[in-house]
Amino acid sequence: MIRNWARDPLVHFLIAGALLFALFAWRGEEADPESRSIDVNREVQASLALQFETMMQRPPTDAELDGLIERWLRDEVLYREALRLGLDRDDAVVRRRLAKKMDALASAQAETAVPSEAVLRAWLADNPERFARGASVSFDQLYFADEAAARAALGQLQSGADWRGLGKPLSVPASQEQAAMRAVTERYGRQFAAGLAQLDAADGWQGPLASGFGWHLVHLRSREQGAVPPLADIRKRVEDDWRGATMSTRTEAAYRLLRGAYRVEIAE
């Protein structure tokens, strides 16, 4: 009975929704590594079945589900013992993986959403420069590993500092001349391209903008608009762009919501 329940598609949907709800209704509860009780409840079984079905494109058999449960139990026991020993502390890899998992929870719904025709038309109308054929930009950029450093440098630039002495080395040039917007998106990522599209060439240094590398301050020098194809010709591109931007927006909104629950003190 439990195994049939675990394979129910409605259960899969409810579990995904519960994960998202848990993220946005964060209550600060922590798992107790001292507990010696492990409850392999229906939610756990359904989650394991869903993971298997996603990979194998079919529900698990009873024997396969038994194996999934046993592997999950092994991981859970070792995970709790690792917490008990404090192996999660000061581990940059573990810390980053958990942060990425939280980001993934926030953006999961957008990853599988199917936007309507109206949504895609509105997205294309609001972001024509992202899809225009022949559209290009000329800009200078400074790279920083973290947002705080980028904001500090922006203050220096606004006070008249020479931009060539700021920023960290990066594998891409500091200056781009008439770079195609599509190439900019491929090189820096959708989030950076979206931010660049909102900049005004008359405003000097602006940012920080997030990219796949880190954070950037950008001086947009010029923008050349191209012709925008009809939606029917670029529907897949528009949908992918909408989805990527929506995922980034939801991830940032989730972080800001959680960030507001903390009091942060940065030593001078």
Closest by CA to 166, choosing from 134, 184, 144, 133, is 144
pLDDT of residue 140: 95
In this model, does residue 8 exceed pLDDT 50?
no
Annotated domain spans of the chain? 2-89, 99-127+230-268, 132-227
What's the pLDDT score for residue 33?
57
Is 252 a residue whose pLDDT tops 80? yes
Asked if 16 contacts 43 with a C-beta cutoff of 8 angstroms, the reply is no
pLDDT at 23 over 50: no
Identify the band that residue 31 occupies on the pLDDT scale cut at 50, 70 and 90: low
In the numeric block, which tokens belong to residue 249?
């927006």
* pLDDT of 55 over the 50 cut: yes
pLDDT, position 97:
81
State the average pLDDT over residues 189-216. 89
pLDDT of residue 205: 95
3-class secondary-structure state, position 194: helix
- Nearest CA among 142, 210, 138, 196 for reference residue 174: 142
| pLDDT (0 to 100) of residue 120 | 94
Of residues 4 and 244, the one with the higher pLDDT is 244
pLDDT of residue 165 exceeding 60: yes
Q: What is the pLDDT of residues 93-143, one digit of tens each?
A: 777 787 888 888 877 777 778 889 999 999 999 888 778 787 889 999 999
- What's the pTM? 0.48
Domain at 132-227, CATH from 3.40.30.10, 2.40.340.10, 3.40.50.300, 3.10.50.40:
3.10.50.40
Dist. CA 16–CA 131, nearest whole Å: 32
Sign of CA dihedral 7, 11, 13, 16: negative
